């Protein structure tokens, strides 16, 4: 028996397709930013709990997973939230420990910020400057050859060490980048 | 007069001879540590300790069984500063000629520990802290010293994922209470911990771990005085060797230790500790 415009079967297929699409979008969103905090001073399981509790209080952070031997905490964020690197570092400090560095894996589209190469997260709109890995704590803008390769793509994944800045977007010292489908 | 002397005698047995002292948020079981408490977080610690004192040099066959339940609440005020409140509950079974059983609260303690040095590496840390505070009488309790006392101390901790060494030194200025000028205490502890399980850390996650613990816990007490005169059967030095075990999880620590006196130099004919055993739990929230 047919309903007005759509049969029951067609309606079910549309609902199923929509659910699958939502799952795919969620999967992509979940991979937009992966933040790995490298910790110093955390040397017992009892210490880990305090660090994780403080990290979970940082706005936008949904989950924290610590690998004790690697001395890292990997945080996953709300896809629509910006990553606050300074707040993450402060959370580790308030737990009584030290942040060594933050590694970031970010997917986005190449853009320009005040004439400088940058990457924009499509979900949150957050912009990251792209710089070379530091030499003597000085970050130079990304090598023009690398930038021209990245600029050709609409969707790239960039991995590197993250650096907060005051008054300008945070930066990623690019170690690796690859084109994403 | 006779009751007053007997009271001083009983108090001196309890207060100057047992192994318990202010244990803060000790990662060593009977030794204080300098490890941080995260800002805004609490740690609750309780222990049950049984001390048996049946070594009676006087030959009169005195026996004392002491059960202590110190309860410690710790708060991380800042990343460097932790605040402690300590409430001990005690039960004493003393047998001189006839048994006397008493229960009550010990002196309350309020302490602050402040980190003065920190050096962090991957999976290792070195911390040094100072602590100080007040011990106040708990009212009419038979275990109350009746005096306001001032503990001051220094703790240092080196901790790696495998081992830990703690050094804990403190001095408690005991004032006059209940007609007695209690002797000051010098407390000295050193602890060593070794992770035995898992021997190798897994590549992922945070494993629960089992530590073996070995401590030396010592206490030197000055003689008490009353009306300007030194009191006999008070003061002296005692040193315990304390092996133990600690099971450390992310949120909870379970621990137990056995204390055996390896050096005793108590003045005159004081009742001496034979051994002590304790078990405890720590939880953070």
Query: Taking CA atoms, what residue in B is nearest to A97?
Result: B120
CB-based burial label for B251 (10 Å; 0-12, 13-18, 19+): middle
In the prediction, which pLDDT does A13 show?
63
Q: In the 3-class helix/strand/coil scheme, how is chain B assigned residue by residue?
A: CHHHHHHHHHHHHHHHHCCCCCCCCCCCCCCCCCCCCCCCCEEEEEEEEEEEECECCCCCCCEEEEEEEEEEEEEECCCCEEEEEEEEEEEEEEECCCEEEEEEECCEEEEEEEEEEEEEECCEEEEEEEEEEEEECCCCCCCCCCCCEEEEEEEEEEEECCEEEEEEEEEEECCEECCEECCCEEEEEEEEEEEEECCCCCCCCCCCEEEEEEEEEEEEECCCEECCEECCCCCEEEEEEEEEEEEECCCEEEEEEEEEEEEEEECCCCCECCEEEEEEEEEEC
Chain B residues in contact with A42 by the CB 8 A cut-off are 123, 125
Residue recorded with tokens 């005793």: B264
Residue A23 near residue A29 (C-beta atoms within 8 A): no
Residue A11 near residue A3 (C-beta atoms within 8 A): yes
Chain A residues in contact with B253 by the CB 8 A cut-off are 46
Query: Taking CA atoms, what residue in A is nearest to B203?
Result: A69
Query: Taking CA atoms, what residue in A is nearest to B117?
Result: A96
Strand partners, A120: A109, A127
Taking residues A41-58, report their average pLDDT: 95
In the prediction, which pLDDT does A2 show?
46
Which of B36, B38, B280 is the best mutation test for A, with the most CBs of A within 10 A?
B38
Interchain pair A67, B203: CB under 8 A: yes
Chain B residues in contact with A96 by the CB 8 A cut-off are 35-39, 76, 79-80, 115
Q: What pLDDT, in 10s, does the model give residues B152-192?
A: 999 999 999 999 999 999 999 998 887 888 899 999 999 99
Average pLDDT, rounded, for chain A: 84
Average pLDDT, rounded, for chain B: 88
Q: Is A5 on the interface with B (CB under 8 A)?
A: no
Residue A89 has pLDDT above 90, yes or no: yes
First vs last C-alpha separation in chain B: 50
Q: Is B199 on the interface with A (CB under 8 A)?
A: no
Q: How many angstroms separate the CA atoms of B128 and B158, rounded?
A: 9
Quote the minimal CA–CA distance from A33 to chain B in Å.
20
Q: How many angstroms separate the CA atoms of A130 and A144, rounded?
A: 11
CB-based burial label for A151 (10 Å; 0-12, 13-18, 19+): middle
Query: Taking CA atoms, what residue in B is nearest to A48?
Result: B250
Partner-chain residue, chosen from B115, B206, B284, that has the shortest CB–CB distance to A68? B206
Strand partners, B231: none
Q: What pLDDT, in 10s, does the model give residues B237-279?
A: 999 999 999 999 999 999 999 999 999 988 887 777 889 999 9
Radius of gyration for the alpha carbons in chain A, expressed in angstroms and rounded: 20
Partner-chain residue, chosen from A49, A69, A100, that has the shortest CB–CB distance to B203? A69
Give the number of beta-carbon pairs within 8 Å between A and B.
Answer: 107
Q: Is the pTM of this model over 0.95?
A: no
What backbone torsions phi and psi does residue A86 show, to the nearest 5 degrees? -65, -35
Q: What pLDDT, in 10s, does the model give residues A110-166?
A: 999 998 899 999 989 999 999 988 765 666 778 888 888 888 888 899 999 999 887
Interchain pair B79, A66: CB under 8 A: no
């Amino acid at each position: 028996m047919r309903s007005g415009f759509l049969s029951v079967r067609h309606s079910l297929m549309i609902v199923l397709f929509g659910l699958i699409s939502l799952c795919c979008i969620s999967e992509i969103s979940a991979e937009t930013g992966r933040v790995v905090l490298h910790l110093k001073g955390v040397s017992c399981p009892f210490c880990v709990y305090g660090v994780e509790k403080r990290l979970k209080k940082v706005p936008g952070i949904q989950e924290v997973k610590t690998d004790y031997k690697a001395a890292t905490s990997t945080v996953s964020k709300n896809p629509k939230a910006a990553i606050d690197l300074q707040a993450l570092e402060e959370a580790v400090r308030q737990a009584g420990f030290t942040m060594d560095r933050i590694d970031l894996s970010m997917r986005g589209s190449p853009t320009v910020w005040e004439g400088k190469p940058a990457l924009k997260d499509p979900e949150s709109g957050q912009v990251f400057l792209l710089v070379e890995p530091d030499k003597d704590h000085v970050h130079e803008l990304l090598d023009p050859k690398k930038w021209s390769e990245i600029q050709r793509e609409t969707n790239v994944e960039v991995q590197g060490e993250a650096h907060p800045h005051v008054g300008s977007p945070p930066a990623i010292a690019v170690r690796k980048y690859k084109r994403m489908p | 007069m006779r009751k007053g002397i007997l009271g001083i005698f009983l108090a001196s047995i309890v207060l100057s001879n047992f192994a318990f002292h202010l244990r803060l948020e000790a990662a060593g079981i009977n030794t204080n540590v300098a490890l941080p408490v995260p800002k805004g977080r609490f740690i609750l610690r309780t222990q049950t300790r049984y001390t048996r004192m049946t070594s009676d040099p006087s030959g009169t066959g005195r026996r004392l069984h002491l059960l202590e339940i110190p309860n410690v609440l710790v708060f991380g005020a800042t990343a460097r500063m932790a605040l402690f409140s300590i409430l001990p509950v005690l039960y004493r079974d003393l047998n001189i000629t006839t048994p006397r059983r008493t229960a009550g609260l010990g002196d309350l303690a309020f302490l602050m520990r402040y980190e003065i040095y920190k050096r962090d590496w991957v999976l290792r840390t070195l911390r040094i802290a100072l602590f100080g505070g007040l011990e106040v009488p708990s009212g009419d309790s038979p275990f109350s010293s009746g005096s306001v006392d001032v503990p001051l101390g220094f703790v240092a901790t080196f901790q790696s994922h495998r081992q830990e060494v703690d050094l804990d030194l403190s001095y408690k200025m005991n004032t006059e209470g209940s007609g007695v000028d209690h002797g000051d205490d010098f407390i000295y502890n050193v602890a060593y911990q070794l992770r035995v399980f898992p021997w190798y850390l897994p590549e992922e996650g945070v494993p629960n771990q089992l530590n073996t613990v070995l401590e030396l816990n010592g206490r030197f007490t000055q003689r008490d005085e009353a009306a300007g005169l030194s009191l006999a059967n008070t003061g002296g030095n005692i040193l315990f060797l304390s092996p133990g075990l600690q099971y450390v999880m992310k949120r909870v620590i379970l621990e137990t230790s056995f204390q055996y006196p390896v050096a005793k130099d108590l003045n005159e004919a004081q009742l001496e500790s034979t051994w002590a055993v304790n078990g405890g739990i720590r939880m953070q929230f």
